[in-house]
């Protein structure tokens, strides 16, 4: 009881609260600016924290982290630009909602969802850290490979009416991911002696291009409807409680998807949000309306990406193992300040853990308050004259891609991805499997080869390890279900004709 009160007392100090709030506000800005990621923001703020004591430093970073992850929903919903990877899936229904004049509800729903996701994963961190951290170590190369295969199969099979097109786009993403230095041998593939190509095709520039620029080109191409589309009313700010209550199952499932994927080093929030989105579509009574502006489609990924934060911090605190890239600066802050992460942290310094838990709760709450309060301001961005919108989005996208590393190369990749995305969209090829292929391709390839080095070429490991087998079965199941579904549709079509 005493450590609990100590933790609470620490967080409720005005200075701690102030730092959390500063972190939040900076975080929301970082998240809202395309190209600035949570990881970058945290790394930039790490030196600032050297002057602070350890708990204050980590509270500031936590505020920034929650702020950045939540803030990324703003450009995703308003402009269709996912500023960083954890907001990819927010675009799917967020932008259509904004186009229908429900930007307020979408933004508000995203914030409330983020809040719930953050709280649930914080609870998981408090209640079950040691056990969950062991789970993250159960994932070896075989499990990662199977996770990648399963995720890609699930996405490819449900991404559109045509299974074949989904698979083709997924494969194309995997192919694009091979550009750069091969992580297993150091051999340069498709780099043409160019140091930038040696670093590979970045995920964020492709994301920005394929969502932001593609959407802008698409809008420009059908400019006649645009007047109608962008005439916005603010509408309601909050989804009403009844709406949210109806989504309890989606919220719960997205939370655990986010927490568990967050636990795995190297999987990342971009995988979690897409899996949560697809799961929400499966549960929803109206799966066919996903992508046309359903609130569930915004809530599920936003719950999941904030749940990833708590999930990612579990191995960081208990194993000194940062599962998310953004947890690296948080771990660095702990080590710089002489706090040794580990399971002992929970028993030897309980007040520290409680203080962190309270800091997470407060960070969540203040992010929620600030962002809800800001919606009226953010939404003003939509009052830009419709004709100016596409060029503005393209400008923001190019700047965002450039800002990532300060490379023109990334801006070029974004523009190329935007043009390619536009062509693919117009010809009816789904973009999401391509993006996921780009995310999961390197994981699939290098984990497979790592496993082969370790086992000396024995491929049975993928089916003899239970978790790996389970994942492969889940992927196969989704593929078979989709095939059966398509056959039934075809028969129905033939029957009625």
Partner 1 sequence: MRRLIALVGVVLLFAMIPGGLSASPVWPEARPVSIVVPFTAGGGTDIIARQIQRAMQRFIEAPLVIRNMPGAGSGIGTNEVLRARPDGHTLLLSGTHTVTATLQGLAAGSIIQLDHIASLNWDPFVIAVLEGAPYKTLQELIDAGKQAPGKVTIGHAGVGALTHLTSEALNKATGNPWTVVPFEGGARLIAGVLGNVVTSGVFSQSEVQAQAGRLRPLAVTSLRRTTLFPATPTTTELGFKNIPQGSFRAISGPKGIPMEVRRAIASSVARAMNDPHWIQYARESGLVKTYMANEELERYFAVLTLDLSKLLRQVGLMK
Nearer to partner 1, 315 or 433 (CB): 315
Residues in the chain: 497
Q: Which is nearer to partner 1, 44 or 365 (CB)?
A: 44
**CA distances from residue 124 to 26, 142, 312, 459, 463 in whole angstroms, order as listed:** 26, 26, 11, 35, 30
3-state secondary structure at position 188? strand
456 binds partner 1 (CB under 8 A): yes
User: Cβ closer to partner 1: 195 or 428?
Assistant: 195
Q: Which residue has the tokens 């159960």?
A: 138
Which residue's CB is nearer to partner 1, number 194 or number 233? 194
Binding of partner 1 by 460 (CB under 8 A) = no
What are the tokens at 291? 């992508």
Smaller CB separation from partner 1, 139 or 277: 139
Q: Return the residue of 8, 320, 392, 416 that touches partner 1, per CB under 8 A.
A: 320
Q: Is there a contact between 308 and 324 (Cβ–Cβ < 8 Å)?
A: yes
* Site membership for partner 1, residue 346 (CB under 8 A): no
3 makes contact with partner 1 (CB under 8 A): no
Is position 231 an interface residue for partner 1 (rule: CB under 8 A)? no
Contact (Cβ atoms closer than 8 angstroms) between residue 210 and residue 369? no
Residue 54 binding partner 1, by CB under 8 A = no
CB atoms within 10 A of CB 376: 12
Binders of partner 1 among residues 286 to 315 (CB under 8 A) are 315
> Is position 171 an interface residue for partner 1 (rule: CB under 8 A)?
no
Distance, CA of 250 to CA of 256 (rounded, Å): 10
How many binding residues for partner 1 (CB under 8 A)?
50
* Binding of residue 407 to partner 1 (CB under 8 A): yes
Report the C-alpha gap between 57 and 392 in whole angstroms: 37
Counting contacts by CB under 8 A, is residue 185 touching partner 1?
yes
347 binds partner 1 (CB under 8 A): no
Binds partner 1 by CB under 8 A, chosen from 140, 235, 246, 477:
140
Please report whether residue 23 would count as binding partner 1 according to CB under 8 A.
no
Residue 21 gets the label, from left (phi > 0), alpha (psi -120 to 50) or beta, of alpha
CB contact set of 229 (below 8 Å; sequence gap of 6+): 99, 219, 386
Say what angle helices 141-158 and 269-283 make with each other, to 10 degrees. 50
**Strand ranges inside 62-115, DSSP E:** none
Least CB distance to partner 1 at residue 64 (A): 13
Would you count residue 131 as binding partner 1 (CB under 8 A)?
no
Q: Which residues bind partner 1 (CB under 8 A)?
A: 39-40, 42-44, 46-47, 50, 136-141, 181-186, 195-196, 198-199, 265-266, 315, 319-323, 328-329, 331-332, 335-336, 340-342, 344, 405-407, 446, 450, 453-454, 456
């Amino acid at each position: 009881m005493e450590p609990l009160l100590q933790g609470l007392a620490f967080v409720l100090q005005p200075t701690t609260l102030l730092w959390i709030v500063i972190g939040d506000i900076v975080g929301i800005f970082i998240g809202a600016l395309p190209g600035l990621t949570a990881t970058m923001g945290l790394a930039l703020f790490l030196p600032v924290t050297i002057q602070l004591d350890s708990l204050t430093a980590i509270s500031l970073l936590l505020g920034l982290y929650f702020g950045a992850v939540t803030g990324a929903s703003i450009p995703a919903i308003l402009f269709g630009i996912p500023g960083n990877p954890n907001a990819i899936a927010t675009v799917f229904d967020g932008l259509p909602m904004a186009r229908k004049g429900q930007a307020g509800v979408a933004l508000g729903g995203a914030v409330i969802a983020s809040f719930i996701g953050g709280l649930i994963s914080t609870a998981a961190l408090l209640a079950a850290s040691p056990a969950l951290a062991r789970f993250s170590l159960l994932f070896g190369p075989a499990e990662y490979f199977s996770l990648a295969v399963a995720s890609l199969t699930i996405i490819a099979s449900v991404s559109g009416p045509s299974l074949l097109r989904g698979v083709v786009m997924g494969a194309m993403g995997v192919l694009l991911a091979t550009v750069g230095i091969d992580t297993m041998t150091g051999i340069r593939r498709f780099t043409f002696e160019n140091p930038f190509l040696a670093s590979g095709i970045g995920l964020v520039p492709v994301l920005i291009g394929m969502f932001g620029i593609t959407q802008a080109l698409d809008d420009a191409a059908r400019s006649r409807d645009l007047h109608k589309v962008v005439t916005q009313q603010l509408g309601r700010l909050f989804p009403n409680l009844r709406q949210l209550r109806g989504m309890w199952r989606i919220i719960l499932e997205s939370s655990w998807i986010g927490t568990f994927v967050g636990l795995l080093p190297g999987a990342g929030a971009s995988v979690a949000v897409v899996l949560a989105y697809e799961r929400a579509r499966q549960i929803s009574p109206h799966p066919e309306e996903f992508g046309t502006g359903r609130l569930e489609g915004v809530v599920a990924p936003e719950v999941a990406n904030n749940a990833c934060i708590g999930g990612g911090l579990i191995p960081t605190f208990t194993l000194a193992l940062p599962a998310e890239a953004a947890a690296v600066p948080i771990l660095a802050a702990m080590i710089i300040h002489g706090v040794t992460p580990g399971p002992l942290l929970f028993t030897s310094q309980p007040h520290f853990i409680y203080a962190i838990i309270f800091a997470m709760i407060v960070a969540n709450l203040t992010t929620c308050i600030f962002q809800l309060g800001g919606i009226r301001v953010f939404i003003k961005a939509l009052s830009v004259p419709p004709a100016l919108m596409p060029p503005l989005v393209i400008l923001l996208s190019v700047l965002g891609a450039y800002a990532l590393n300060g490379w023109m190369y990334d801006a070029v990749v974004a523009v190329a991805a935007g043009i390619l995305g536009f062509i693919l969209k117009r010809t009816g090829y789904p973009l999401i499997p391509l993006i996921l292929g780009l995310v999961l391709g390197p994981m699939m390839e290098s984990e497979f080869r790592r496993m082969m080095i370790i086992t000396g070429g024995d491929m049975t490991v993928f089916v003899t390890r239970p978790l790996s087998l389970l994942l492969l079965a889940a992927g196969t199941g989704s593929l078979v279900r989709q095939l059966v579904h398509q056959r039934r549709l075809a028969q129905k079509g033939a029957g009625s004709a």
